[in-house]
Amino acid sequence: MMEPDQCLQYLYKGQLLPEATIKALCFKLKEMLVKESNVVYIQSPVTVVGDIHGQFHDLLEIFEIGGRVPDTNYLFLGDYVDRGLYSIETILLLIVLKLRYPNRVHLIRGNHESRQITQSYGFYTECLNKYGSSSKVWQYITDLFDYLILCCVIDDRLFCVHGGLSPNVQTIDQIKIIDRFREIPHDGAIADLVWSDPEEHNLMANPSNREELYQETSQHFQISPRGAGYTFGRSVVEKFLEINGMDRIYRAHQLCNDGYQIYFDGLVTTVWSAPNYCYRCGNKASILELYSADEYYFNVFVEAPENRLLNDQVMNSVANRNTISEYFSDYQLSITNGKDNTNDTSYDYKEFYKNGGNDVDELETDLMKMSLSTNSDIFSDSFQAQSARNRKVEYFL
Partner 1 sequence: MEKIVQNTDHDALTCKLSAISTRYIPCPLVHKDYFNYNDIYLSYYQTLKTLLSRRDQGSINRALRNSYPVMNYGTYLRTVSIDSLLNSYLDERVSNEYIQVVNLGCGSDLRFVHLLNNFKNIKYIDVDFKDALELKGKVLRTNLKFKQALKLDTEIMDKTENGSQLIHTENYVMMEGDLKDTSDIITKLSRYTDTNAKTVFITECALCYLPDIAAQRLIDKIIDTFDSGYWISYDPIGGNQEKDKDRFGKIMQDNLKSSRDLELPTLLKYFSEDLYSSRFTQHTNSSKKITVNIKNLWEFYLQSINDNEKKRLQKLQFLDEIEELKIMQSHYIILNAQW
Q: Is 395 in the site for partner 1 (CB under 8 A)?
A: yes
Choose the catalytic residue: 57, 112, 162, 253: 112
Q: Distance (Å, rounded) from C-alpha 193 to C-alpha 76?
A: 15
Q: Distance (Å, rounded) from C-alpha 291 to C-alpha 298?
A: 11
Between residues 48 and 194, which has the closer beta carbon with respect to partner 1?
194
Q: Give buried/exposed letters for 45-56 (b at 16+ CB in 10 A, else e).
A: ebbbbbbbbbbb
Measured CA distances, 35 to 39, 146, 316 (Å): 11, 13, 35
Q: Is 226 in the site for partner 1 (CB under 8 A)?
A: yes
Cβ neighbour number for residue 289 with a 10 Å cutoff = 19
Strand, coil or helix: 74: strand
Q: Is 391 in the site for partner 1 (CB under 8 A)?
A: yes
Q: Is 204 in the site for partner 1 (CB under 8 A)?
A: no
Q: Is 334 in the site for partner 1 (CB under 8 A)?
A: no
Q: Is 278 in the site for partner 1 (CB under 8 A)?
A: yes
Give one DSSP letter per residue of 155-209, joined into a string.
Answer: TTTEEEESS---TT-SSHHHHHTS--SSPPPSSSHHHHHHH-EEPPPPTTS-TT-
Q: How far apart are CB 141 and partner 1 at their closest, in Å?
A: 19
Between residues 125 and 244, which has the closer beta carbon with respect to partner 1?
125
Q: Distance (Å, rounded) from C-alpha 11 to C-alpha 63?
A: 13
Give the one residue of 218, 254, 307, 375 binding partner 1; rule: CB under 8 A.
Answer: 254
Q: Is 157 in the site for partner 1 (CB under 8 A)?
A: no
User: Which residue type, as a one-letter code, is found at position 211?
Assistant: E
Give the one residue of 211, 242, 351, 394 binding partner 1; rule: CB under 8 A.
Answer: 394
374: left (phi over 0), alpha (psi -120 to 50) or beta: alpha
Q: How far apart are CB 324 and partner 1 at their closest, in Å?
A: 20
Q: Distance (Å, rounded) from C-alpha 46 to C-alpha 69?
A: 11
Stretch that binds partner 1, among 64-72, 213-221, 285-293, 386-394 (CB under 8 A): 386-394
Q: Distance (Å, rounded) from C-alpha 10 to C-alpha 4?
A: 10
Give the one residue of 276, 299, 320, 376 binding partner 1; rule: CB under 8 A.
Answer: 276
Between residues 187 and 344, which has the closer beta carbon with respect to partner 1?
187
Q: Is 379 in the site for partner 1 (CB under 8 A)?
A: no
**Is 106 considered catalytic here?**
no
Give the one residue of 207, 227, 305, 338 binding partner 1; rule: CB under 8 A.
Answer: 227
Q: Kindly write out the interface string for residues 112-141 of this chain, putting x where it contacts partner 1 by CB under 8 A and - elsewhere.
A: x----x--xx---x----------------
Residues contacting partner 1: total by CB under 8 A: 31
Q: In what order do the strands lie in the sheet with 230-232?
A: 197-198, 230-232, 222-223
Stretch that binds partner 1, among 207-215, 240-248, 277-285, 346-354 (CB under 8 A): 277-285
Task: Give the end-to-end CA distance of the chain in Å, rounded to a whole number.
Answer: 48
Q: Distance (Å, rounded) from C-alpha 34 to C-alpha 109?
A: 14
Q: How far apart are CB 83 and partner 1 at their closest, in Å?
A: 9
Between residues 283 and 342, which has the closer beta carbon with respect to partner 1?
283
Are the CB atoms for 77 and 161 separated by under 8 Å?
yes
| Interface contacts to partner 1, rule CB under 8 A | 111-112, 117, 120-121, 125, 225-227, 254-255, 257, 276-283, 384-385, 388-389, 391-397
Q: Which residues are catalytic?
A: 112
